[in-house]
Amino acid sequence: MGRVGRVGRVRGAGGVAGVGRTGKKSPFSSLFSPHSPHSQSPCPHSLPELGYKVKWQYNFVLEKEAMILLRTRQLLISIVLVLALLVTACGGGTSEPSRWDGAQERTSGAPTQTTGQQPAKGGQLNQFFPTASGEYQRVFTQEKTGSALAKLKKGGTEVATLAINDTANNPKAAEKFKTATQKIGIYPAVVQGKKTSILVGRYQVSVTSKTPTSLSASDRQAWLQKFNLSGLAGL
Protein backbone atom coordinates (compact mmCIF):
# COMPACT_ATOMS: atom_id res chain seq x y z
CA MET A 1 0.00 0.00 0.00
CA GLY A 2 2.78 2.32 0.73
CA ARG A 3 4.52 1.71 -2.68
CA VAL A 4 1.33 1.89 -4.67
CA GLY A 5 0.45 5.09 -3.01
CA ARG A 6 3.74 6.69 -4.02
CA VAL A 7 3.25 5.73 -7.67
CA GLY A 8 -0.21 7.14 -7.70
CA ARG A 9 1.00 10.39 -6.27
CA VAL A 10 3.70 10.68 -8.94
CA ARG A 11 1.25 10.10 -11.71
CA GLY A 12 -1.21 12.43 -10.16
CA ALA A 13 1.42 15.12 -9.90
CA GLY A 14 3.05 14.87 -13.31
CA GLY A 15 0.38 13.15 -15.32
CA VAL A 16 1.12 11.41 -18.57
CA ALA A 17 4.36 12.48 -20.34
CA GLY A 18 3.75 15.55 -22.44
CA VAL A 19 0.40 16.22 -20.70
CA GLY A 20 0.09 18.83 -18.01
CA ARG A 21 -1.87 18.63 -14.87
CA THR A 22 -4.85 20.18 -16.65
CA GLY A 23 -4.83 17.40 -19.29
CA LYS A 24 -3.54 19.70 -22.14
CA LYS A 25 -0.51 18.92 -24.31
CA SER A 26 2.67 20.96 -23.90
CA PRO A 27 3.45 23.39 -26.81
CA PHE A 28 6.93 21.88 -27.08
CA SER A 29 5.75 18.34 -27.45
CA SER A 30 5.48 18.63 -31.27
CA LEU A 31 9.20 19.35 -31.54
CA PHE A 32 9.99 15.91 -30.27
CA SER A 33 7.41 14.10 -32.34
CA PRO A 34 8.87 11.88 -35.08
CA HIS A 35 6.11 13.05 -37.40
CA SER A 36 6.69 16.77 -36.76
CA PRO A 37 7.67 18.87 -39.80
CA HIS A 38 10.32 20.59 -37.68
CA SER A 39 12.17 17.34 -37.32
CA GLN A 40 12.74 17.20 -41.16
CA SER A 41 15.60 18.95 -43.02
CA PRO A 42 14.76 22.58 -43.96
CA CYS A 43 16.55 22.30 -47.38
CA PRO A 44 14.85 20.09 -49.98
CA HIS A 45 18.18 19.56 -51.87
CA SER A 46 21.34 17.91 -50.78
CA LEU A 47 24.48 20.04 -50.26
CA PRO A 48 26.42 18.66 -53.31
CA GLU A 49 23.51 19.45 -55.61
CA LEU A 50 23.16 22.95 -54.21
CA GLY A 51 26.90 23.61 -54.68
CA TYR A 52 26.75 22.51 -58.33
CA LYS A 53 23.90 24.90 -59.07
CA VAL A 54 25.73 27.83 -57.43
CA LYS A 55 28.88 27.05 -59.43
CA TRP A 56 26.91 26.81 -62.70
CA GLN A 57 25.22 30.18 -62.10
CA TYR A 58 28.63 31.75 -61.28
CA ASN A 59 30.17 30.42 -64.51
CA PHE A 60 27.17 31.65 -66.50
CA VAL A 61 27.61 35.17 -65.12
CA LEU A 62 31.35 35.11 -65.94
CA GLU A 63 30.72 33.99 -69.52
CA LYS A 64 28.09 36.68 -70.00
CA GLU A 65 30.44 39.40 -68.71
CA ALA A 66 33.22 38.11 -70.99
CA MET A 67 30.95 38.33 -74.04
CA ILE A 68 29.96 41.89 -73.11
CA LEU A 69 33.62 42.91 -72.78
CA LEU A 70 34.51 41.29 -76.12
CA ARG A 71 31.70 43.07 -77.95
CA THR A 72 32.61 46.38 -76.31
CA ARG A 73 36.24 46.04 -77.43
CA GLN A 74 35.21 45.19 -80.99
CA LEU A 75 32.94 48.24 -81.06
CA LEU A 76 35.73 50.50 -79.82
CA ILE A 77 38.16 49.15 -82.43
CA SER A 78 35.61 49.81 -85.18
CA ILE A 79 35.08 53.38 -83.97
CA VAL A 80 38.84 54.05 -83.88
CA LEU A 81 39.28 52.72 -87.43
CA VAL A 82 36.45 54.88 -88.75
CA LEU A 83 37.89 57.98 -87.07
CA ALA A 84 41.34 57.24 -88.48
CA LEU A 85 39.92 56.95 -92.00
CA LEU A 86 38.04 60.23 -91.60
CA VAL A 87 41.15 62.05 -90.37
CA THR A 88 43.22 60.66 -93.24
CA ALA A 89 40.61 61.60 -95.83
CA CYS A 90 40.18 65.12 -94.47
CA GLY A 91 43.86 65.84 -94.00
CA GLY A 92 45.20 64.15 -97.16
CA GLY A 93 44.72 67.20 -99.36
CA THR A 94 46.34 69.69 -96.95
CA SER A 95 49.80 68.19 -96.65
CA GLU A 96 52.70 70.58 -96.92
CA PRO A 97 54.99 70.26 -99.94
CA SER A 98 58.08 68.20 -99.27
CA ARG A 99 61.62 69.02 -100.28
CA TRP A 100 61.25 66.55 -103.16
CA ASP A 101 58.37 68.60 -104.56
CA GLY A 102 60.59 71.66 -104.53
CA ALA A 103 63.40 69.78 -106.28
CA GLN A 104 61.00 68.59 -108.96
CA GLU A 105 59.87 72.16 -109.62
CA ARG A 106 63.45 73.33 -109.95
CA THR A 107 64.43 70.58 -112.39
CA SER A 108 61.24 70.40 -114.45
CA GLY A 109 62.03 73.60 -116.32
CA ALA A 110 58.58 75.02 -115.55
CA PRO A 111 58.70 78.82 -115.76
CA THR A 112 58.31 80.63 -112.46
CA GLN A 113 57.61 84.08 -113.90
CA THR A 114 56.65 85.60 -117.23
CA THR A 115 57.33 88.82 -119.11
CA GLY A 116 53.70 89.22 -120.13
CA GLN A 117 54.59 88.56 -123.79
CA GLN A 118 52.93 85.83 -125.81
CA PRO A 119 55.46 83.04 -126.55
CA ALA A 120 55.97 82.08 -130.16
CA LYS A 121 54.56 78.83 -131.51
CA GLY A 122 56.94 76.02 -132.30
CA GLY A 123 55.95 76.03 -135.96
CA GLN A 124 57.05 79.66 -136.24
CA LEU A 125 60.51 78.80 -134.94
CA ASN A 126 61.19 75.90 -137.32
CA GLN A 127 61.85 78.23 -140.27
CA PHE A 128 64.90 79.74 -138.58
CA PHE A 129 66.79 76.43 -138.20
CA PRO A 130 69.80 75.82 -140.46
CA THR A 131 69.32 73.53 -143.40
CA ALA A 132 71.41 70.39 -143.52
CA SER A 133 73.29 69.28 -146.59
CA GLY A 134 75.86 66.71 -147.60
CA GLU A 135 76.47 64.13 -144.92
CA TYR A 136 74.36 65.98 -142.33
CA GLN A 137 70.63 65.50 -141.74
CA ARG A 138 68.24 67.61 -139.67
CA VAL A 139 65.33 65.84 -137.94
CA PHE A 140 62.78 67.86 -135.92
CA THR A 141 61.85 66.08 -132.67
CA GLN A 142 59.84 68.64 -130.69
CA GLU A 143 57.55 71.48 -131.63
CA LYS A 144 55.52 73.22 -128.93
CA THR A 145 54.67 76.72 -127.79
CA GLY A 146 57.90 78.61 -127.10
CA SER A 147 60.24 75.78 -128.09
CA ALA A 148 61.49 73.81 -131.09
CA LEU A 149 64.14 71.05 -131.15
CA ALA A 150 65.88 69.15 -133.92
CA LYS A 151 68.49 66.39 -133.98
CA LEU A 152 71.59 66.91 -136.11
CA LYS A 153 72.80 63.64 -137.60
CA LYS A 154 75.97 62.82 -139.51
CA GLY A 155 75.82 59.70 -141.62
CA GLY A 156 72.70 58.59 -139.74
CA THR A 157 74.33 59.03 -136.30
CA GLU A 158 73.16 61.76 -133.95
CA VAL A 159 75.93 64.23 -133.18
CA ALA A 160 74.10 67.22 -131.67
CA THR A 161 70.79 68.83 -130.73
CA LEU A 162 69.69 72.17 -132.19
CA ALA A 163 67.21 74.27 -130.21
CA ILE A 164 65.40 77.61 -130.12
CA ASN A 165 63.63 78.57 -126.87
CA ASP A 166 61.47 81.63 -126.27
CA THR A 167 62.34 83.20 -122.89
CA ALA A 168 59.00 85.02 -122.68
CA ASN A 169 57.76 82.36 -120.25
CA ASN A 170 61.15 81.93 -118.53
CA PRO A 171 63.03 85.23 -118.18
CA LYS A 172 65.60 83.63 -115.86
CA ALA A 173 66.99 81.71 -118.80
CA ALA A 174 68.16 85.03 -120.28
CA GLU A 175 69.83 86.31 -117.10
CA LYS A 176 73.05 84.37 -117.66
CA PHE A 177 73.72 86.34 -120.85
CA LYS A 178 73.95 89.62 -118.89
CA THR A 179 77.38 88.59 -117.62
CA ALA A 180 78.54 86.85 -120.82
CA THR A 181 82.13 87.62 -121.81
CA GLN A 182 81.93 86.03 -125.26
CA LYS A 183 80.07 86.91 -128.42
CA ILE A 184 79.22 85.07 -131.61
CA GLY A 185 78.65 87.73 -134.18
CA ILE A 186 76.83 90.49 -132.32
CA TYR A 187 75.07 88.19 -129.89
CA PRO A 188 76.22 87.35 -126.33
CA ALA A 189 77.33 83.72 -125.99
CA VAL A 190 77.62 81.30 -123.07
CA VAL A 191 79.42 77.94 -123.10
CA GLN A 192 78.27 75.33 -120.57
CA GLY A 193 80.05 72.01 -121.00
CA LYS A 194 78.88 70.43 -124.27
CA LYS A 195 76.38 73.26 -124.87
CA THR A 196 76.93 76.63 -126.56
CA SER A 197 74.10 79.20 -126.49
CA ILE A 198 73.50 82.71 -127.76
CA LEU A 199 70.69 85.19 -127.01
CA VAL A 200 68.95 86.69 -130.04
CA GLY A 201 66.44 89.24 -128.76
CA ARG A 202 64.37 87.17 -126.33
CA TYR A 203 65.22 83.83 -128.03
CA GLN A 204 67.89 81.47 -126.77
CA VAL A 205 69.55 79.53 -129.59
CA SER A 206 71.72 76.58 -128.61
CA VAL A 207 73.71 73.67 -129.99
CA THR A 208 74.47 70.74 -127.67
CA SER A 209 76.93 68.01 -128.60
CA LYS A 210 75.73 64.44 -128.17
CA THR A 211 79.16 63.43 -126.84
CA PRO A 212 82.26 65.49 -126.03
CA THR A 213 83.87 64.38 -129.31
CA SER A 214 80.84 64.26 -131.61
CA LEU A 215 80.89 68.02 -132.18
CA SER A 216 83.63 70.38 -130.99
CA ALA A 217 83.12 73.87 -129.52
CA SER A 218 84.20 75.49 -132.80
CA ASP A 219 81.77 73.25 -134.70
CA ARG A 220 78.94 74.27 -132.37
CA GLN A 221 79.80 77.93 -132.99
CA ALA A 222 79.76 77.36 -136.75
CA TRP A 223 76.31 75.73 -136.59
CA LEU A 224 74.94 78.59 -134.49
CA GLN A 225 75.92 81.03 -137.20
CA LYS A 226 73.98 78.94 -139.75
CA PHE A 227 70.67 79.81 -138.03
CA ASN A 228 68.70 82.65 -139.57
CA LEU A 229 69.56 84.93 -136.66
CA SER A 230 68.53 88.21 -138.25
CA GLY A 231 65.13 86.80 -139.14
CA LEU A 232 64.68 85.38 -135.63
CA ALA A 233 65.57 88.76 -134.08
CA GLY A 234 62.75 90.39 -136.03
CA LEU A 235 60.11 87.80 -134.99
Q: What is the pLDDT along the chain (235 residues), one digit of tens a residue?
A: 454 444 444 444 444 444 445 555 555 555 445 555 544 545 555 666 666 667 667 777 778 888 888 888 888 888 988 888 887 776 554 445 444 454 444 434 444 455 567 888 878 999 999 998 889 999 999 888 899 999 999 999 999 999 999 999 888 989 999 999 999 999 999 999 999 999 999 999 999 999 988 999 999 999 999 999 999 999 8
pTM for the complete prediction? 0.52
pLDDT at 35: 52
Q: Which of 175, 117, 162, 125 is nearest to 145 (CA)?
A: 125
d(CA 225, CA 205): 10
Q: Which residues fall within 8 angstroms of residue 67, CB to CB, at 6 or more apart? A: none
**Confidence at residue 153, expressed as pLDDT on a 0 to 100 scale:** 95
Cα distance between residue 27 and residue 31, in whole Å: 8
Q: What pLDDT is recorded for position 62? A: 79
